[in-house]
Chains A and B, each alone.
Chain A
Amino acid sequence: GIQVEQSPPDLILQEGANSTLRCNFSDSVNNLQWFHQNPWGQLINLFYIPSGTKQNGRLSATTVATERYSLLYISSSQTTDSGVYFCAVDFNSGGSNYKLTFGKGTLLTVNP
């Protein structure tokens, strides 16, 4: 079936370190997004990136659609980066609905 797999499941960093989170998906996608869920449960959209590379401050993301994976880079990590990072994809081809299938997430802990 349709799958979204994220790695690593857990990651612990010291403040200032860099990290790379990976998302593999099992089929072609129209829509891929990265979200951050803070320790209080709020999800924030980080990137909409079905293909290519985008950057926003210390965060950047790359999706290689032909090879069915996406990477989220976090540079110079801060304690406020802690939380769960989710990759979510829409496998529907050309449809008008945008329901997303989520991976299980990467739990990131940044220690001071």
Chain B
Amino acid sequence: DGGITQSPKYLFRKEGQNVTLSCEQNLNHDAMYWYRQDPGQGLRLIYYSQIVNDFQKGDIAEGYSVSREKKESFPLTVTSAQKNPTAFYLCASSIVGNYGYTFGSGTRLTVV
């Protein structure tokens, strides 16, 4: 079945460490997105990519980095520069020019 796989489901990180969240899709979607969700809040866009080897900053990109070397993969690195990284991270994909937004099941990151 087609879908989006995020891993790991739970992640613990020590302060000062970088950590990479995985997002893989087999839907053949062109666009991929990373969102951050804090308790009681909506989703906020971190980065998005419409095609391979290209990506744009969203509303809250500071302290994060991404790459898009393959159409299927869009990993997110939470760097030590991100001051408040504890959150729920959601990856999504869509057909550019269409509406087929599909979300992964999320990664819950906790800084300890």
Contact = CB atoms under 8 A, between A and B. Distances in A.
Contact of B44 (A33, A45, A97, A102): A102
Contact of A43 (B31, B41, B99, B103): B103
How would you classify the secondary structure of chain B's contact residues: helix, strand, loop or mixed? Answer: strand
A8 to B, nearest CB: 14
Nearest to B92: A43
B46 to A, nearest CB: 11
A31 B90 contact: no
Nearest to B101: A45
A97 to B, nearest CB: 6
Contacts of B105: 40-42
B102 A45 contact: yes
Contacts, number: 59
Interface string A97-108: 111111111000
B40 interface: yes
- What is the size category of the interface that chain A forms with chain B? 20 to 34
A104 B41 CA distance: 5
Contacts of B101: 33, 35, 45, 98, 100
A41 B106 contact: yes
- What is the size category of the interface that chain B forms with chain A? 20 to 34
Contact of A99 (B33, B88, B103, B106): B33
A22 to B, nearest CB: 15
B99 A33 contact: yes
Given A88-B43, A98-B94, A104-B41, 20 more contacts: A33-B101, A35-B101, A35-B103, A41-B106, A41-B108, A42-B103, A42-B105, A42-B106, A43-B90, A45-B99, A45-B100, A45-B101, A45-B102, A48-B99, A86-B42, A97-B96, A98-B96, A99-B58, A101-B45, A102-B44
A96 B97 contact: yes
Contacts of B96: 96-98
B45 A99 contact: yes
A48 B96 CA distance: 14
